[in-house]
């Protein structure tokens, strides 16, 4: 599985398109690969932001998921929250892969401050 890591970052960047609609405080994630079944549950988006994006607080996000066109819309009530998530999204795929590389090397500390995300 580790041999995937060098290409995983590019796979994520190439397969997930982010679109920013600042006037409407909305971030879209558009999935280019054909996904079997539902693309995500709203809760999974929050978990992803917490696990791999470093989000440490609960912020209100209106999450709309369109399985037909494989698009996720993250709508925010405040510009501050919008900016926060926009910043996270800029580096999230790099962080994701770096985290995997580090834990595989035995650096488990890197996941220490991830909050409890599992039911």
Partner 1 sequence: MTDPKAIENNPFKELGKIPELRFKQGYSVHSTYIPMRDGVKIAATICLPNGLLPNDKIPTVLIQTRYWRAMELRIPFRWVLDEVVTANPDPEITTGRGYAYIRTDVRGTGASFGIRRIPFSEEEVKDGADVVDWIISQSWSDGNVVSKGISYTGTTAEVFSTTHHPAIKAIIPGHGLWDSYTDVAYPGGCYDLAFMQMWSFLGRNLDLNNPKVFRQIMPSVWLFSKGVKPVDTDCDLKLFQDAIDKHKQNQYVHEHALDRNYRDEPLPEGTTYDDIIFNRKSRIEESNLPMLIWCSWYDSGYIDAAIHRFLNLSNPMMVILGDWNHGAGFPANQFFPKRVHVTPSPRERINAFMNFFDKCIYGKSIESKILYYYTLAEEKWKKTKIWPPKGHMYQRWYLSENFILSKKLPENDVGEDDYKINFRATTGRLNRWWTLLAQPIDYQPRTRMDEKLLCYTSQPFEKDTEITGQAIICLYLASSHEDGAIFVYFEDVDEQGNVTYITDGEFRVIHRKVSNEEPPYKILIPYHTYSKEDASPLIPGEIAELKFGLHTTSVFIRKDHRIRIAIAGADKDTFLRYPTDGRPTITISRNKTNSSYIDLPIIENKNNSQGV
8 binds partner 1 (CB under 8 A): yes
Written as six digits, the tokens of 59 are 């912020």
Residue 92 burial (10 A CB sphere; 0-12, 13-18, 19+): buried
How many CB atoms are located within 10 Å of the residue 56 CB? 10
82 binds partner 1 (CB under 8 A): no
Q: Which of 18, 26, 47, 75 binds partner 1 (CB under 8 A)?
A: 47
89 binds partner 1 (CB under 8 A): no
Q: Which of 48, 59, 63, 86 binds partner 1 (CB under 8 A)?
A: 48
In this structure, are residues 13 and 56 in contact, taking their beta carbons and an 8 Å threshold? no
Residue 53 burial (10 A CB sphere; 0-12, 13-18, 19+): buried
Distance in angstroms (rounded) separating the CA atoms of residues 65 and 83: 21
Stretch that binds partner 1, among 20-28, 54-62, 78-86, 97-105 (CB under 8 A): 97-105
52 binds partner 1 (CB under 8 A): yes
Residues of this chain that bind partner 1 (CB under 8 A): 1-4, 8, 11-12, 15-16, 31, 33, 35-36, 39-40, 44-45, 47-48, 51-52, 92-93, 96, 99-100, 103-104, 106, 108, 111, 118
């Amino acid at each position: 599985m580790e041999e995937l890591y060098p290409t995983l970052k590019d796979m994520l960047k190439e397969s997930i398109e982010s679109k920013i609609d600042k006037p409407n405080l909305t971030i879209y994630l558009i999935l280019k690969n054909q996904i079997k079944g539902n693309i995500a549950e709203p809760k999974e988006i929050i978990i992803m932001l917490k696990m791999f994006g470093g989000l440490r607080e609960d912020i209100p996000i209106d999450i709309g998921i369109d399985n037909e066109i494989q698009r996720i819309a993250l709508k925010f009530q405040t510009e501050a929250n919008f900016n926060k998530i926009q910043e996270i999204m800029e580096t999230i795929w790099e962080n994701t892969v770096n985290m995997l590389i580090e834990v595989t090397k035995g650096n488990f500390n890197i996941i220490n401050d991830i909050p409890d995300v599992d039911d």
